[in-house]
């Protein structure tokens, strides 16, 4: 008789958990996955996939507007929010089915219920069933965090509810200055809502390159989005179907929807972590793990947003795959969390990989900056007032490209390719030796020859 019911029990059916389950099962492991909500997790069900679909839909208004400059005469058009939501729901249901099918085809069993740890090897399901496992993987992800409780917080929606609104808000107030807040600001503005963004810091996109932050804000404000920084929401009053949002600055804003997007917290509550001896990282509130995703308990691992390391879907997938390779494939793989490309599907779009100028200047004595901003070719005919930003951060001593930052149409697609070069430690000379692909915006990356700034850090005497 086997010592355990399964070789691997995965708590969470999101991107990281599903990848780990499938790869482990492929190595011959007996695997079980518990998911209490819907297979696919945050990204598929209520995150990047529906968000990107909404972003694409919200761009259509611009395309119609721009068409006139290219000779198109488009008549009366209309938009129906309910149709968008219904079609999005169909696509998400299809993807959920695909996730479920792929796990089952791998030979793993799915339990559509909550799972809680009873000890280091025992899991209790909400159905009453108990399962013992040689290894346990926690991949429960994260959830929106509304931050400090303010009066009227019960009236606030998060990104979760934004995907299921019955009506498109005519006026919406969004608190937050990160990628989720800005993406939804662009989405709602694109569909015709009057959007106001409130952020406590001095400028949006904290942690991004300063030039990116300034450029995105300027472009969003050109699109009619109001951005108020240096204050927070102090109170929300409800009057029938409308709201009044009172700010810490003393002013107030009327709207018919209020959304908070001020961060996410790891889903660590009520999982039995204390009972099993799994430690929480005091620095970030996520499950504490080492470089191999192992927790404080030898046979229990954690991947993805629940660790609060780098909260990106491809990172969770890579961590889940590496875990399965290491534990069940006997091929030790440690995930490299350096030089991870990322995108903000704001309007304009942001793509970035590697170090910001500020980070590079703190780490390297000689830093060269190559930067350009220009009117894209489409705007010369459409008449739209918009500019693209491209920036390379280079180690002045070794000539290695340390970072690339792009704001404009297709920024994410361009950055994915550039990320390969940055990961391979390409030099500025390598970029210069690459023939430009004309006419494109991205050709600027290989035609910028003169530094716009050179920084030399003086050695301390």
Which residues are tagged catalytic?
438
Do residues 25 and 108 make contact, with C-beta atoms less than 8 angstroms apart?
yes
Q: Which helix (H) or strand (E) holds 407?
A: strand 401-407
Tell me which residue has tokens 């169909």. Answer: 90
For residues 216 and 223, the answer to whether their CB atoms sit within 8 Å is no
Among 356, 433, 347, 345, CA closest to 394: 356
* Strand 226-229 relative to strand 233-239, pairing: unpaired
**CA dihedral for 246, 252, 254, 255, sign (positive or negative):** negative
Three-class DSSP category at 405 = strand
**How many angstroms separate the CA atoms of 9 and 130, rounded?**
11
- Measure the CA dihedral 452/359/286/229, to 10°: -60
Give the E-state strand segments of 231-324 in sequence order. 233-239, 242-247, 252-255, 257-260, 264-266, 300-302
Separation between Cα atoms, residue 11 and residue 6, nearest integer Å: 13
Residue 78's contacts (CB-CB under 8 Å, 6 or more residues apart) are: none
What is the spatial distance between Cα 257 and Cα 279, in angstroms, rounded to a whole number?
Answer: 39
Residues with Cβ within 8 Å of residue 220, at least 6 apart in sequence:
182, 185, 186, 197, 227, 346, 347, 348
Percent helix, strand and coil across the chain, each to the nearest 5:
35, 25, 40
Q: Which residue has the tokens 């069940």?
A: 328
R_g (Cα) of the chain, nearest Å: 24
DSSP 309: S
| Residue the block writes with tokens 């059916």 | 13
């Amino acid at each position: 008789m086997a010592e355990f019911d399964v070789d691997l029990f995965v708590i969470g059916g999101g991107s990281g958990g599903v990848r780990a389950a499938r790869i482990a099962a492929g190595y011959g492991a007996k695997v079980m996955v518990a998911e209490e909500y819907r297979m696919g997790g945050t990204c598929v069900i209520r995150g990047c996939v529906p968000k990107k679909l909404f972003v694409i839909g919200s761009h259509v208004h611009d395309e119609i507007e721009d068409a006139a400059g290219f000779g198109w005469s488009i008549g009366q058009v209309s938009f129906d929010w309910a149709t968008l939501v219904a079609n999005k729901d169909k696509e998400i249901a299809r993807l959920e089915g695909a996730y479920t099918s792929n796990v089952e085809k791998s030979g793993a069993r799915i339990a559509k219920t909550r799972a809680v740890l009873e000890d280091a090897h025992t899991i209790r399901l909400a159905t009453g069933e108990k399962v013992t496992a040689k290894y346990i993987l926690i991949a429960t992800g994260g959830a929106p965090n509304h931050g400090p409780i303010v009066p009227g917080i019960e009236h606030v929606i998060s990104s979760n509810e934004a995907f299921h609104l019955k009506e498109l808000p005519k006026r919406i107030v969004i608190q937050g200055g990160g990628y989720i807040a800005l993406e939804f600001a662009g989405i709602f503005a694109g569909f015709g809502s009057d959007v106001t963004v409130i952020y406590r810091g001095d400028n949006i996109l904290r942690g991004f390159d300063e030039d990116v932050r300034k450029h995105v804000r300027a472009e969003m404000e050109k699109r009619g989005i109001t951005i108020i920084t240096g204050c927070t929401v102090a109170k929300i009053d409800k009057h029938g179907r409308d709201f009044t949002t009172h700010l810490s600055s003393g002013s107030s804003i009327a709207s018919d929807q209020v959304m908070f997007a001020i961060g996410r917290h790891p889903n660590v509550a009520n999982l039995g972590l204390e009972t099993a001896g799994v430690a929480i990282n005091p620095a970030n509130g996520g499950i504490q793990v080492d470089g191999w995703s192992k927790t404080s308990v030898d046979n229990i691992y954690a991947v993805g947003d629940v660790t609060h390391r780098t909260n990106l879907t491809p990172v969770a997938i890579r961590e889940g795959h590496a875990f399965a390779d290491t534990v069940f494939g006997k091929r030790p793989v440690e995930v490299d969390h350096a030089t991870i490309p990322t995108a903000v599907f704001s309007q304009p779009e942001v793509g970035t990989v590697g170090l910001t100028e500020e980070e590079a200047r703190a780490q390297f004595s000689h830093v060269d900056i190559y930067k350009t901003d220009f009117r894209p070719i489409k705007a010369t005919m459409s008449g739209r007032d918009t500019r693209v930003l491209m920036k390379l951060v280079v180690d002045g001593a070794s000539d290695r490209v340390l970072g690339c930052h792009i704001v404009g149409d297709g920024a994410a697609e361009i950055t994915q390719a550039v990320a390969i070069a940055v990961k391979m430690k390409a030099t500025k000379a390598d970029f210069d030796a690459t023939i430009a692909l004309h006419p494109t915006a991205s050709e600027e990356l290989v035609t910028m020859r003169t530094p716009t700034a050179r920084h030399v850090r003086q050695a301390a005497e």
